[in-house]
Structure 1
Amino acid sequence: MNAEHLRSFCVVAREGSVTAAARTLGLTQPAVSRHLRLLQEERGQALYERRGAGIALTPAGRQLLPYACAVSQALERAEAVLRGRVAPEWTRLRVALSHHLTTRYTGPLLRAARAYNDEGYHLRLHLLEGYTPDLVRGLQDGSLDAAYVLGEVEPAEGITATPVGSERLVLLVRGDDPLAREQGLHLTELDGETLVAPSSASLVYRLLQAALEATGARPGRVLEVSGPAAVRSAVYAGLGIGVTMRSYVETELLEGALRVVEVEAPGLETPVTRLTRNEWFLLPDQQHALAFLAERVRNQEA
């Protein structure tokens, strides 16, 4: 099995089309198409289907993808070392966070990376953020090595899931809002109020909708914004009552600018899960660094 063919397959899956992958790889489109055809012939079954200008992986293609991307990652790293772009001793990790977990984990991860380097290692940690489905896809196609996400994750090829804690949905108001004096509210007490929620792509939005349905609560309207930062900005602007995860606004709570109000409704607590690519997709130094970071983050939360 040709390593370059596997690399082309990985990049096509990640980019979504042969044309985009050819640009990324610095190859012609016919060359990339040939790599895919030869790989498919060797496998003996369809790995992808063409859909418009792009492609969609078949079940066999999805099964092959993490292994192909592990080969692609190793080739990219070897080329970087040979060209002098990265010293051989540097370990590179790409770790992503669900948007609502950035406040909770950014500091601990960066402190853990600093401690790792203080022990004589050389780690370059790249932190990213996104919604859980996108992060799972990133782990599968090899563009991410690990992620901390909200919610439980369905078993997926090439990914190990570890529960690491939980988060609870809360309401967010300005310090001068009358609701700031409340310790807790039943969701039905918000009938007629304007709620500001993150994108429907987020777990927080889905938890809110499920709770509204379960309790029969009827807010005046729900404003959908891009993410937790936009929710916070809308609350500052007095546009409504925010819906968020408590840890995301810990800094503002300490400063007293915002207040959280606990909500009485079922299903508002959700697990936090650490996802990593399975060990056989990671280089030994990456495995060592990820284990160190996970332990240090766990100790900081204890």
Structure 2
Amino acid sequence: MTSELNFKHLRYFQVVAHEGHVTRAARRLNLSQSAVSTQIGLLEKRLGHALFHREKRSLRLTEAGRIALDHADALFGIGDDLVATLKRKGAKRLALRIGAIATLSRNFQMAFLRPVLGRVDVEIALRSASAAELYGGLADHHLDVVLTNHPPPFDATTLYVAHRLAEQPISLIGVPRLCAPRLSLPDRLSQVPLILPAAGTGLRMGFDALAARFEVRPQIAAEVDDIAMMRLLAREGVGLAVLPPIAVQDELAGRLLAIAAKLPALTETFYGVTVDRRFPNPLVRDLLRPRSYNFRPDRPAASSHPPNKLKRRK
């Protein structure tokens, strides 16, 4: 039937896509280069979409090509699927490619992924890199979504869509001995060493504005652009860290750290960034649907005067 897909053409496409070069693919398939090119052309005609961007001697997958490759890999892995099924190892997994800004809270990443964790039909590829690298991967269809705590940049050639996922209040967090009870916020900001976000970040600018409003000069112990390092410094008792509670939820639950004070009007917003696609990944669509991020609540510090509590977000 004319509606049927020629799986031989699809196999040739799969090899070319993985090799990234027609000549190497033809050598691997023991065919002529022209024969392979012809078969790829027939497949593109059958599917009604170009599968490659042809740039001089290089080949780069189009969005349709990336989708086709995912299906080809799944299809030609059917033999492995059969063996795995008989051995109770589950079927071929669906690909979910996620990029996360290198400094983003790992706890938030886990909260975002929680609906698909443990699913035997999902294979997660999580990449941590700079914003420029991740947005490039998103535009080239190598990533399905980018997790970040900053709105995406404006790009006239790529329309980024920022899905607002959650918002966390910012607090002063540290070891219990630094969370002196009944200390006013201005006094706390000026008298206790602080671990601050790096200068120039949105959170740091918000904190500086707050300090200026209180007319205090903070006692800066460290300036750090990595949440994981801020967490470690806070655990070491270097100072009170300016952090969202989700970044240290395990330490708060275990009473290693406590919330000394909330910082009014300071929040951190988390986004899932995508690009407009003709073939969106259904897994990402489900993850981006509105839902509650049930972060574990903090516990009071082990002292006679427990610090202020944050309400659990519903």
Distance 1:153 1:100 in 2: 14
Q: CA RMSD in A?
A: 4.0
Task: Provide the secondary structure at the position in 1 that maps to 2:143.
Answer: coil
Q: CA deviation at 1:254?
A: 0.9
Once the two structures are superposed, residues 234-281 of structure 1 have per-residue CA deviations (whole angstroms, 9 ceiling, x without a partner) of: 122222221211111111111111012234455x12433222232325
- Deviations along 1:195-235, whole A, 9 cap, x unmatched? 22344575434433444455543223352235111112112
- 1:156-235 matches, cutoff 5 A: 156=155, 157-177=158-178, 179-182=179-182, 185-186=185-186, 189-191=188-190, 193-200=192-199, 203-213=202-212, 215-221=214-220, 223-235=222-234
After the TM superposition, which residues 73-152 of structure 1 pair with which residues of structure 2 at under 5 Å, given as runs?
73-74=66-67, 77=70, 80=73, 84=77, 90-98=93-101, 99-107=103-111, 109-115=113-119, 117=120, 122-129=121-128, 135-152=134-151
**Aligned pairs (5 A) from 1:1-12:** none
Report runs of 4+ in structure 1 exceeding 6 Å deviation.
Answer: 85-88
How far 1:164 moved relative to its partner? 2.5
Tell me the equivalent position of 1:294.
Answer: 288
Q: Structure 1 residues 215, 140: closer, same or farther in 2, change over 3 A?
A: farther
- In 2, the alpha carbon distance for the partners of 1:129 and 1:100 equals 9
Q: Does structure 2 retain, via aligned residues, the 8 Å contact 1:131–1:202?
A: no
Query: Gaps spanning 5+ residues in structure 2: where?
Result: 1-18, 24-53, 82-90, 295-313
The 3 A distance-change label for structure 1 pair 101 and 221 is closer
CA contact 1:100–1:244 (8 Å) conserved in 2: no
Query: TM-score, structure 2 length as denominator?
Result: 0.58
Change (3 A) 1:184 1:105: farther
Contact 1:192/1:221 (CA < 8 Å) preserved in 2?
no
Q: In the TM superposition, what is the alpha-carbon distance from 1:174 to its structure 2 partner?
A: 0.3
SS of the aligned residue for 2:114 comes to: helix
TM-score, scaled relative to structure 1: 0.60
Distance in 1, Cα, partners of 2:144 & 2:134: 10
Partner of 2:272: 274
- For residues 189 and 270 of structure 1, the distance between their equivalents in structure 2, rounded to whole angstroms, comes to 21
SS of 2:110's partner is helix
* Deviation at residue 190 of structure 1 after TM alignment: 1.8
Amino acid at match of 1:217: V
Counterpart CA distance in 1 for 2:236 and 2:206 is 24
CA contact (8 A) 1:113 1:293 kept: no
Query: Per residue, is there more helix in 1 or in 2?
Result: 1
Structure 1 alignment gaps of length 5 or more: 1-23, 29-34, 40-66
Larger relative contact order (CA 8 Å, sep ≥ 6):
1
Once the two structures are superposed, residues 139-192 of structure 1 have per-residue CA deviations (whole angstroms, 9 ceiling, x without a partner) of 233332113322444555243222233122211110222x25358624x64226
Q: Is the 8 A contact 1:97 1:149 kept in 2?
A: yes
Contact 1:70 1:142 in 2 (8 A): yes
Distance 1:197 1:264, change over 3 A: closer
Number of residues paired by the alignment?
A: 235
CA distance in structure 2 between the aligned counterparts of 1:133 and 1:300, rounded to whole angstroms: 27
